[in-house]
Chain A
Amino acid sequence: MQRALQAIANRIVIAVPFLWLLVFFLAPFLIVLKISLSLPAIAMPPYQPVFDIADGVAGLWAGVREFTVDNYVWLTQDALYFNAYISSVVIAGISTLITLAIGYPVAYGMARASSALRPILLMLVILPFWTSFLIRVYAWIGILKPEGLLNTFLMWIGLIDEPLIILNTHTAIFIGIVYSYLPFMVLPLYSSLEKMDYSLIEAAKDLGCSETGAFWKVTFPLSLPGVVAGCLLVFIPAVGEFVIPDLLGGSRTLMIGKTLWNEFFANRDWPVSSAVAIVLLLLLVVPIMLFQRAQARAQEAER
C-alpha cells in the first residue's frame, strides 16, 4: 500500500517538470507551428485559418485542410534567410569561444579560492543581474561611443590620437554578448571545477606530469560537462539575440533576430516569421539533441 502511494508521489514529482515543459515549451511551439502553416491575411489576427472552439471538430478539420508549407518554401527561395542564419551562428559561435576563454580562468580562480572567499566571488558574478539587462547594454553605448568613456580615457593616457570606432560594429556586438552572458558561462564551469578532487592533480604531478600537462590531461577533461553546459547556455540565446545587435551593432549587421522582426513588424507576415522561428528552433535543437544522445552513448560505453 505504502509502496503504491510512494509510486504515485513519484509520478507527481516527475509530472511537474513535464507539465512545465508542456505549458511553457510545447504549447507555444504548437501555436507558432500552426501560424507558420497559415497564410497571411488582412485581418485581426493577420493570418488564416483561425480556430474557434465554437466551430467544433468540423471547423478544426476545415482549418487544418487550409494549412500550407508555402512559407517554408519561401524561406529557401531568398538567400537572405540562409545568410542571416549563418551570420547569427557565426556571431554566436565566436562570442561563445571568447566567453569560454574569459570565463574559464575566472571560474578556475573562483574554484581554487579559499572557501571563505568563494561565496563573495560567487555573489560578485551574480551582482550585475540586479541591474536591468537593458540598462547595462545602454551603459555600453556610453562606454563605447566615439566621445565615450573608453575613448576619452585612451586619449587621455595618450594611447590613441583619434577615437576608435567601436560602437555600431561587430566588435561592439561581441563585447555586448560576452559581457551579458559571461555569468552563464562562469557558473556551470565553477560548479564542475569546484567539485573536482585536486588530489588527482597532485597524483598526476607525482607521476611526472607538468603543470600545464596536468591541466589539459586531468582538469580540463573533468570540467567538460561544465564547458558544454556553459557553451550551450551562451550559444543558444546568442543566436537569437536581438537587443544587443540592435543597440550596439550597426545597421549593416544581418542577424536572424532582426530578420524575424522585419517579417513580423514591417511585413506583418506572421506566418513567415513563425516559419523563420520554427526553422531556427530546429536548427538549434536537433544538433543539440544528437550531441547529447551521442554523449549519453559514449558514457554508457565507458561503463
Chain B
Amino acid sequence: MRRIGLLCLTTAAAILSYGASAQERVVNVYNWSDYIDESILEDFTKETGIKVVYDVFDSNEILEAKLLAGGTGYDVVVPTASFMARQIQVGVFQKLDKSKLPNLSNMWDVITERTAKYDPGNEYSINYMWGTTGIGYNVNKVQEILGTDTIDSWDVVFKPEELAKFADCGVYMLDAPAEMIPAALHYLGLDPNTTDTGELAQAEELLLSIRPHIRKFHSSEYIDALANGDICLAVGWSGDVFQARDRADAADQGVAVGYSIPKEGAQMWFDQMAIPADAPHQAEALEFLNFIMKPDVAAKASNFVYYANGNKASQAMLIEDVIDDPAVYPDEETLAKLFTVVAWDPRTQRTATRLWTRVVTGQ
C-alpha cells in the first residue's frame, strides 16, 4: 500500500515537472566527451534562463549516423569539419541567421579562412576548437631510447627500424583511417587528399610495414596509457595528449608527457558547431552559439580543454600554458606546414576503410 502511495507521488511529481518544463526554454547540445568546462553551461543558463541538456559522443561516425537517420532532437552538434562538409551537402544543417550572432566579429580570420574550405562562407557553422594530429610521447623513455628528449620528425613513427625501438615500451595509434592514412600519404610526399588507388596502396604498404610494432589501434585509451607510463609513443590528437600530460603531472609518478607537431607537418582539424535542419529549438541554439563566441567563454573553454579555439578576441584571456605553447597555438612557420583534409567520396571511403581493416587486423 505504501509502495502504491509512493508511486502516485512520483507520478504526480513527474507530471508537475513536465508541466514546468513546458514553459522552460531548453537547448539540446550534443558535443564530444571531455570537451567543455561544465561551468560554461551553468553560466549560459544563468545569463539566458535557457536550460542546457548536454549529451556527449566520442566518434564522428556515431554522430553522423544519427544525423543521417534524422530526428535527433539535438539543437547544437559538433562534427569535425571534414565530416561536416558532406553532411552539409546532404542537407543535415540549417543556415545560420548571422543577424542573431553579433559575436561572429570575435572570430579569427586565420581559422575562418580554413573552415570556409569545408563550409563555404561559413554559412552553416562556427568554429569551436581546432587542433592537430601529432605524436604524444613519454619524455623520459624517449630520452633513454633516443638520447634526446624531443621528437621532431615522423621518422620515429614511419620508419620501421626507428619504431621498432619503441615496440617493447608500447606504441598506440589512432584507430581512425581519416587521420592515419593522410599522415602516411603526407610523410611519403604525396597529396594527403589523394583518391588515387595506387597512392593509397603506397600508404597502406607504409602502414603495414610499421604495424608489427604497434600494440594497439585505439582512439581514446592512449590518454590514460600515456599518463600511466604504460606506453612510450602514441599518434594522437593534441588536446588529448595534453590531458594525458596533466593527468601524469597530477599523479606525480615521475611520468612526463610531451607532444610534438613533427617538422614535416601534421593534419589540422576543426570541430564546428552547427544546428541541425530539424532542430526543435532554433532560437535557443543560436543564443547558445552566440554565447560560445563570447571572448571570455571561448577562453574559459580553451583554458580547460587545452585546445586552441577560433576566437581571436579570446586570446588575450588565455592562460600562458595555452597561448604560449607552440603545440597548442603553433607559430606562423609551423602553421604554414599544417595540412587539412576533405572528406573522401564514397568510393575512396570504401577503399580507405578496407585498407584500414587490413592494416588493423592483418586481413
Contacts and interface: CB of A to CB of B under 8 A. Distances in A.
Interface of A: 40, 42-46, 78-80, 83, 146-147, 168, 250-254, 259, 262, 264-269
A266 B86 contact: no
A251 B175 contact: yes
Interface in B102-145: none
B255 to A, nearest CB: 13
Contacts of A146: 230
B353 A267 contact: yes
B363 A42 contact: no
A38 B26 CA distance: 38
Given A265-B62, A268-B346, A251 B216 contact: yes
Nearest to A83: B363
A262 B65 contact: no
B353 A266 contact: yes
Contact of B70 (A40, A44, A262): A44
A45 B68 CA distance: 5
A168 to B, nearest CB: 6
The 3 closest A-B pairs by CB, nearest first: A265-B61, A251-B217, A254-B361
A147 B170 CA distance: 14
Interface stretch (B87-95, B181-189, B237-245, B308-316): B87-95
A263 to B, nearest CB: 8
Contacts of A79: 363
A42 B86 contact: yes
Interface majority SS (helix, strand, loop, mixed), chain A: loop
A43 B86 CA distance: 10
B209 interface: no
A269 B216 contact: no
Given A42-B89, A42-B90, A45-B70, A268 B361 contact: no
A11 B250 CA distance: 67
Contacts of A80: 354, 357, 363
Given A44-B70, A147-B228, A251 B61 contact: no
Interface in B341-363: 346, 349-350, 353-354, 356-357, 360-363
A251 B363 CA distance: 12
Given A40-B346, A251-B217, A251-B361, A265 B90 contact: no
B64 interface: yes
Contacts of B64: 265, 268
Contacts of B92: 44
Contacts of A254: 357, 361, 363
A42 B343 CA distance: 13
Given A80-B357, A168-B216, A252-B360, A266 B90 contact: no
A80 B355 CA distance: 11
A268 B217 contact: no
A44 B68 contact: yes
A252 to B, nearest CB: 5
Contact of B349 (A78, A83, A147, A268): A268
Nearest to B63: A265
Contacts of A251: 175, 216-218, 360-361
B304 to A, nearest CB: 25
Contacts of A259: 357
Nearest to A87: B363
Given A254-B357, A269-B350, 14 more contacts: A42-B90, A44-B67, A44-B90, A45-B69, A45-B70, A80-B363, A147-B230, A250-B216, A251-B175, A251-B218, A251-B361, A262-B357, A266-B356, A269-B346
B59 interface: yes
B349 A267 contact: yes
A269 B354 CA distance: 13
Contacts of B217: 251
Nearest to A74: B350
Contacts of B262: none
B160 interface: no
A48 to B, nearest CB: 13
A266 B230 CA distance: 29
Contacts of A44: 67-70, 90-92
B73 interface: no
A80 B215 CA distance: 22
Interface in B190-247: 215-218, 228, 230
A266 B349 contact: yes
B177 interface: yes
Nearest to B350: A267
Contacts of B59: 265
Contacts of A267: 346, 349-350, 353
Contact of A253 (B177, B218, B361): B361
9 contacts: A42-B89, A42-B90, A44-B91, A83-B363, A250-B216, A252-B360, A254-B363, A267-B349, A267-B353
Contact of A266 (B68, B177, B218, B362): B177
A265 B178 CA distance: 13
B129 to A, nearest CB: 23
Contacts of B70: 44-45
Contacts of A147: 228, 230
Nearest to B86: A42
Contacts of A45: 68-70
Given A146-B230, A267-B349, A78 B61 contact: no
A264 B69 CA distance: 12
Contacts of A46: 68, 90
B360 A78 contact: no
Nearest to A167: B216
Nearest to A252: B361
Interface string B153-191: 000000000000000000000010100000000000000
In the complex, which of the residues A78, A168, A267 has the most CB atoms of chain B within 10 Å of its own CB atom?
Answer: A267
In the complex, which of the residues B177, B217, B356, B361 has the most CB atoms of chain A within 10 Å of its own CB atom?
Answer: B361
A168 B225 CA distance: 14
A109 B361 CA distance: 42
B245 to A, nearest CB: 20
B224 to A, nearest CB: 10
A147 B229 CA distance: 11
